[in-house]
Chain A
Amino acid sequence: GESVGLHLPTLSVQEGDNSIINCAYSNSASDYFIWYKQESGKGPQFIIDIRSNMDKRQGKRVTVLLNKTVKHLSLQIAATQPGDSAVYFCAEKNFGNEKLTFGTGTRLTIIP
Chain B
Amino acid sequence: DGGITQSPKYLFRKEGQNVTLSCEQNLNHDAMYWYRQDPGQGLRLIYYSQIVNDFQKGDIAEGYSVSREKKESFPLTVTSAQKNPTAFYLCASSYPRVAEAFFGQGTRLTVV
Give the residues in chain B near A3, CB-CB below 8 Å. 38, 41, 84
* Cβ contact within 8 Å between B90 and A2: no
Residues of chain A in range 5-61 having any CB-CB distance to chain B below 8 Å:
6-8, 31-32, 34, 41-46, 49
Name the one of B41, B48, B97 contacting A95, with C-beta atoms under 8 angstroms. B97
Chain B positions 83 through 110: 1 when the CB is less than 8 Å from some CB of chain A, otherwise 0: 1100000101010110111111110000
Q: Please give the distance in Å from B102's CB to the nearest CB on chain A.
A: 8
* Cβ contact within 8 Å between A49 and B56: no
* Cβ contact within 8 Å between A93 and B99: yes
Q: Tell me if B43 counts as interface (CB < 8 A to partner A).
A: yes
- 7 pairs across A/B with beta carbons < 8 Å? A7-B41, A32-B99, A43-B104, A44-B90, A102-B43, A102-B45, A103-B42
A contact set with B: CB distance below 8 Å: 1-3, 6-8, 31-32, 34, 41-46, 49, 89, 93, 95, 97-105
